Each structure stands twice: as C-alpha cells, then as structure tokens.
C-alpha cells in the first residue's frame, strides 16, 4: 500500500456547487490567508479533504496547543490574523490555553473547530464538547454555523471582528454535516454587525484637553503598551515624545514600540521593571497611557500608583479606561490616530528639563544590575550574548518566568514586532511554538526561542514540526534545572521551601534535539556559548542550545506582591 500523500492537484476553480468545507477554504483565500496551523481529526475530515485540493499552506503541529501558539507568534509579528483548525472535542479543548492567551494579549486569531453532526449535538456524542460554552468567556466572539448558507458571511465577520478594534480571537464551530453539505455559496453577503462598531478616531475635544495637560505638566511620562504595536504607531510615538520631550516607559508587551536605545526611554515598568521607570510612574504629574491596560504586574499596589498624576488613557477598548486606574482624560481611539491628532494640534511645550535630569540621575544611580562572575555562567549573560550575536535584531520569543524577565530587561528591543511573549496569561510552553509561527511569517529573520527548561518541556513535541519544516529557529534553553520564578518566590516568601521547583532530573536535551534531526549543543560557560552562538547564528538551519546556567540567580529589581512602585527591592547589588 502506498501511504504517501498524493501530489496535490491544481487549485480547483470555484464551481457553482460546493461543499461547506470548500466554501471555507475558498473564503480563506479571499481573506488572503497564506498559512493554516492545525491538526486533523474526525469532525474536520471534510475540511481537510477540501484543504487537500487547495494550495494554502498547512502547518501540521504535534499537539493543538502547538498550532495555536504558532498562530499567535505569526499574528504577533506580522499583524495578520493567525488561522487555526482543530477537530471537535479534544482537538478543540486543547486550544483553550492558546485562545485565552490570545484574548489576554489581544492577538487576532480566527479559529475553526470541527463539531459533531448537527443531529447529534447535545447527545454527548463521540468527541463532542460544548466549545461554544467553553470559549464564550475567552473569545472576542464565537459562532456555531447552523446553516451552511451563513458560512461565507460568518467567516467574513470572524476575520473582521478578530482584526479590528482591539484584536482578539474569534472561534467558528462547524458541525461535520454543515461542512459536507453542498450549496451555491453567496460570497457577496455583506457584514452586518450593528452591535460591533469600534471607535477608531479620537474625540478632538479630549485631544485638546490632553494637549493642554501636556503643556502644563512638569513631570509627564508616557506609558506605551502593545496597543501602540497593534496600531503601528511607533513613528508617531517617537515624534510625539521628542516634540514634547516626554520620557517613555514600556509595558512588558509594549517592548519594541519605542526604541530601546532612545535617550528618552526609561525601560520597562512593573514588577521587574527598572527603578527609573517605576519611580517615574510613581512621581509623575501627568501619565499618558497609550494602548496599555494597567495590569497588576505593571501597577503594583494601586494605592501607590501614579498617585500625584493626572491620568490620560488612550485605548481603542473603552472598557479598559477607568477599569483599574481612575482616569481624568479618557480617549477612546486607535493609538496612531490619537497620536497623529496630538501632533497636529498647536499646544505649548512643557518644560521637562528638570524632570528629565532627575530621571537620568536615577538611571545612573540605579541601573539594572547583575552579578559579575568568572566561575558561574549567569543566565542574564545568555540574553546579552544572544543580543550580541543577533546584532539586537532578532525576533525573540519566550515563555513566562525568569528567562522572560531577563529577556525583557536585557535584549533592548530597538524595533517593533520583534518581541513575542506571553504577557497576560503567562503561559509556559508558549515560546517555542510561537517561534515557529514567527519564523513562518518572516522566513528571512533570525528567530530565537529563548526558553526555560520547564517551559520548553511543555511543548517540546513541536521539535518534530521544526524538523519537518527545517526552519532556522534557534532554540536557546536557559537551563537552570529549576522552575526559576517559582523557586525565587519560594526563596523570598516561603522561607526557601523549594516545593516541587527543583528539577535536577531532566532529559539530555542534546540527544533529544538530535533525535529530531536538529543540530544540538550543550554549553556550560561563556566561552563555549560564544563559540556555539557564532556557529549557530551564522547558518540558516534549526539549532538547539542547552545553556547550563546558574540555578541560583534571581530577577531583580522587584516589587514584592502587594507593594507599591516606590517600594522596589534589589535595586542595588
């Protein structure tokens, strides 16, 4: 028996009569979808059969979680919607973490799940799960297609909702019989969403109010989040901050929206942000938040957050304004539109010289610091070396935890859309698959999956996807044989009771990588690392590097839980 897939025939012309599955594939083409991330199964057999006749590229992961994180990575760096297909029941439930992650970090995804046939929905049929109920709170919107005639319209609406306003995941659940049904599709049906009218342009009176506040401010600061990246507003942000000489702080997810080497840049704010950034947030008299949502990891204790400041909040999502922090100047708008209007408006320039002098002094007195050691291989050095060997221009993906914070602190992102991390949900296992997705979006870019030994082992099955695609993703495992951030908190707050956080027994990552046909190295000190990085980053092929770093390092500085921005610990060695 010949088990090899038959060569794909030419793309089928649109015929009058098509199955629902064909309609889906044809609609995807109309949405300019170039790549699908998915995994087949019983309820999506009709869709995969239609896909067989289509030239759209499909990336087969090894677990649906790998598919959706890859789609998130793709969406994060490209700005285009990531498209995912999974089967009913377990296929769909395996997506849940990724959908929530995309919801929290506002990533545009369109997810198609198979569903059991309409006739048996609600009977606990084989591989049935109520994915509509399960995903209602974690999607921007979801649909179950009851009538195949609605499919073209629903797909149009799904892409529209996912990519406009505040981006987010939209799920379309397709029962198997709907996918099989033959119809003459009507692609001309228009989007009709009377309840979904996102605001795009700001209210000009509010812009004037903000411009006046800027003119009067003595200690203004801008907090730039991922909304700046989604709106592609980097240039306008630089222009605005330079025109008014206002220092800029990034949120974790906003890194790259402002050049990391700009003299007005104060670094990242929040729990492991810089002293300068956090003290600026604490002491400022005008806080202009743009596309950021005042996450608790950024604000620390709200009783101490920007207490002396007039707060202006520019956000495309009105519900974020005033949610956590009382706001005096609310502006519902796309970040770019608002910044453009702010640049157009005539307004007095604030005198910020004294303020900036003070902040510069803070930066000099309390810079990010790390141990210097000739004997230990310090994890922060791995980030610095990756920065050096990628000339600071790589796409970096991470999971959550210590390695994520060190990457955020030490990579100094100079450009937008180079930083792919799980911020809101804090998902271990996110980084490696998202690197595959990011690499598919930008095949020529250097993509580095900076990961920990814990997070990597949650989705390492995707090594096989990497092997198949032969993408030049560099997997750099910052291996400290612990769940570093858990260990750090146990050290600081649980009297060093390292409950289930030390993992001395682990696979031989080099052999593991080699088992998947991927060039793999183990490095135990800086010299070895330099030699291996030199080699790894000069070839366009996948590489895995197991960096055996010190297991005792902690991320500093830090705001302990419940404390305010001005109560940072570990600001000095």
Partner 1 sequence: MKRIVTATVINQSGVLNRITGLMTKRQFNIESITVGHTEKEGVSKMTFVVNVDDNAKIEQLIKQLNKQVDVLKVTDITDQAIVVRELALIKVISNAQIRSEISGIIEPFRASIIDVSRESITVQVTGNSDKIEAILDLLRPYGIKEMVRTGITAFPRGSQKSVTDLKQYSILN
Task: Point out the residues that are catalytic.
Answer: 64, 126-127, 176, 485
203 binds partner 1 (CB under 8 A): yes
Q: Which of 11, 12, 126, 136 binds partner 1 (CB under 8 A)?
A: 136
In order, the DSSP letters of 476-509 are EEEE-SB-HHHHHHHHHHSTT--TT-B------H
The span from the CA of 26 to the CA of 20, in Å, is: 10
Q: Which of 11, 14, 191, 319 binds partner 1 (CB under 8 A)?
A: 319
573 binds partner 1 (CB under 8 A): no
Burial class for 506, CB neighbours closer than 10 Å (0-12, 13-18, 19+): middle
In this chain, which stretch among 192-200, 259-267, 405-413, 464-472 interacts with partner 1, using CB under 8 A?
192-200
* CA proximity to 208, closest of 344, 23, 68, 4: 344
Number of residues counted as binding partner 1 (CB under 8 A): 25
β-pairing, 18-19 vs 82-86, is unpaired
569 binds partner 1 (CB under 8 A): no
Nearer CB in complex with partner 1: 95/248: 95
Shortest Å distance, C-beta 156 to partner 1 = 14
341 binds partner 1 (CB under 8 A): no
CA-based R_g, the chain, Å = 25
Shortest Å distance, C-beta 136 to partner 1 = 5
In this chain, which stretch among 69-77, 84-92, 199-207, 475-483 interacts with partner 1, using CB under 8 A?
199-207
206 binds partner 1 (CB under 8 A): yes
Q: Which of 42, 322, 551, 570 binds partner 1 (CB under 8 A)?
A: 322
β-pairing, 82-86 vs 109-115, is parallel
422 binds partner 1 (CB under 8 A): no
The HSE-up count of residue 274 (CA atoms within 13 Å, CB side) is 26
Q: Which of 4, 7, 32, 133 binds partner 1 (CB under 8 A)?
A: 133
Shortest Å distance, C-beta 350 to partner 1 = 25
230 binds partner 1 (CB under 8 A): no
Cβ atoms of residues 377 and 549 within 8 Å: yes
190 binds partner 1 (CB under 8 A): no
137 binds partner 1 (CB under 8 A): yes
The span from the CA of 332 to the CA of 47, in Å, is: 40
Q: Which of 47, 226, 314, 332 binds partner 1 (CB under 8 A)?
A: 332
Residues 6+ apart with CB under 8 A from 542: 466, 467, 470, 471, 472, 473, 474, 475, 518, 519
Is 565 strand, coil or helix? coil
Q: Each residue of 295-332: b (16+ CB within 10 Å) or e?
A: bebbbbbeebbbeebbbbbbbbbbebbeeebebebbbb
Bridge partners, residue 331, by sequence: 314
14 binds partner 1 (CB under 8 A): no
Q: Which helix (H) or strand (E) holds 511?
A: helix 509-515
Cα 135 to chain centroid distance, Å, stands at 19
x/- string (CB under 8 A) for partner 1, residues 96-115?
--------------------
Shortest Å distance, C-beta 421 to partner 1 = 24
162 binds partner 1 (CB under 8 A): no
Nearer CB in complex with partner 1: 254/330: 330
Cβ atoms of residues 243 and 236 within 8 Å: no
Shortest Å distance, C-beta 424 to partner 1 = 14
321 binds partner 1 (CB under 8 A): yes
307 binds partner 1 (CB under 8 A): no
* CA proximity to 171, closest of 137, 133, 144: 144
- For partner 1, the binding residues (CB under 8 A) are 132-133, 136-137, 140-142, 144, 161, 193-196, 203, 205-206, 317-319, 321-323, 326, 330, 332
């Amino acid at each position: 028996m010949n088990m090899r897939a038959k060569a794909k025939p030419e793309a089928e012309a649109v015929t009058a009569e098509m199955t629902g599955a064909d309609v889906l594939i044809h609609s995807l083409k109309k949405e300019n979808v170039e790549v699908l991330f998915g995994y087949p199964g019983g309820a999506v057999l009709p869709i995969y059969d239609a896909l067989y006749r289509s030239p759209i590229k499909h990336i087969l992961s090894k677990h649906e979680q790998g598919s959706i994180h890859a789609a998130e990575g793709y969406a994060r760096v490209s700005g285009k919607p990531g498209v995912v297909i999974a089967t009913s029941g377990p296929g769909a439930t395996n997506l849940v973490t990724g959908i929530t992650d995309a919801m929290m970090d506002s990533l545009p995804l369109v997810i198609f799940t198979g569903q059991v046939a309409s006739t048996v929905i609600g009977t606990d049929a084989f591989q049935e799960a109520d994915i509509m109920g399960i995903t209602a709170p974690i999607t921007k919107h979801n649909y179950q297609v009851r009538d195949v005639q609605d499919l073209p319209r629903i797909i149009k609406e799904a892409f529209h909702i996912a990519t406009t306003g505040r981006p987010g995941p939209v799920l379309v659940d397709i029962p198997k019989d709907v996918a099989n049904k033959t119809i003459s599709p009507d692609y001309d049906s228009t989007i009709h969403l009377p309840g979904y009218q996102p605001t795009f342009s700001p209210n000009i009176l509010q812009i004037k109010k903000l411009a006046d506040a800027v003119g009067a401010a003595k200690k203004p600061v801008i907090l730039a989040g991922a909304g700046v990246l989604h709106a592609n507003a980097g240039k306008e942000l630089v222009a605005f901050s330079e025109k008014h000489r206002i220092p800029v702080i990034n949120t974790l997810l906003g890194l790259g929206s402002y050049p990391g080497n700009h003299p007005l840049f104060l670094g990242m704010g929040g729990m492991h942000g810089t002293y300068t950034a956090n003290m600026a947030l604490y002491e400022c008299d005008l806080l202009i938040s743009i596309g950021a949502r005042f996450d608790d990891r950024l604000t620390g204790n709200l009783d101490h957050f920007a207490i002396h400041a007039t707060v202006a909040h520019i956000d495309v999502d009105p519900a974020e304004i005033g949610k956590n922090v009382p706001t005096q100047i609310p502006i519902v708008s796309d970040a770019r539109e608002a910044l453009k209007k702010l640049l157009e408006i005539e307004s007095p320039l604030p005198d910020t010289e004294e303020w900036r002098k003070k902040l510069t002094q803070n930066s000099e007195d309390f810079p990010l610091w790390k141990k210097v050691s000739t004997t230990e291989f310090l994890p922060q050095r791995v980030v610095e070396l990756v920065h050096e060997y990628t000339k600071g221009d790589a796409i970096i993906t991470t999971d959550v935890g210590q390695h994520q914070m060190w990457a955020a602190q030490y990579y100094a992102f100079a450009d937008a859309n180079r930083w792919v991390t799980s911020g809101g949900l804090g998902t271990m296992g996110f980084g490696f698959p998202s690197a595959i997705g990011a690499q598919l979006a930008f095949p020529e870019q250097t993509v580095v999956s900076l990961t920990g030994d814990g997070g990597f082992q949650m989705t390492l099955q995707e090594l096989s996807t990497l092997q198949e695609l032969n993408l030049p993703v560099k997997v750099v495992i910052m291996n400290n044989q612990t769940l570093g951030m858990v260990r750090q908190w146990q050290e600081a707050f649980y009297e060093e009771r390292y409950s289930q956080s030390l993992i001395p027994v682990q696979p031989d990552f080099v052999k593991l990588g080699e088992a998947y046909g991927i060039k793999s190295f183990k490095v135990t000190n800086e010299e070895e690392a330099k030699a291996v990085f030199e080699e790894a980053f000069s070839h366009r092929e996948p590489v895995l590097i197991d960096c055996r770093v010190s297991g005792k390092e902690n991320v500093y500085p830090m705001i302990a839980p419940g404390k305010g921005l001005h109560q940072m610990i570990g600001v000095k060695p």
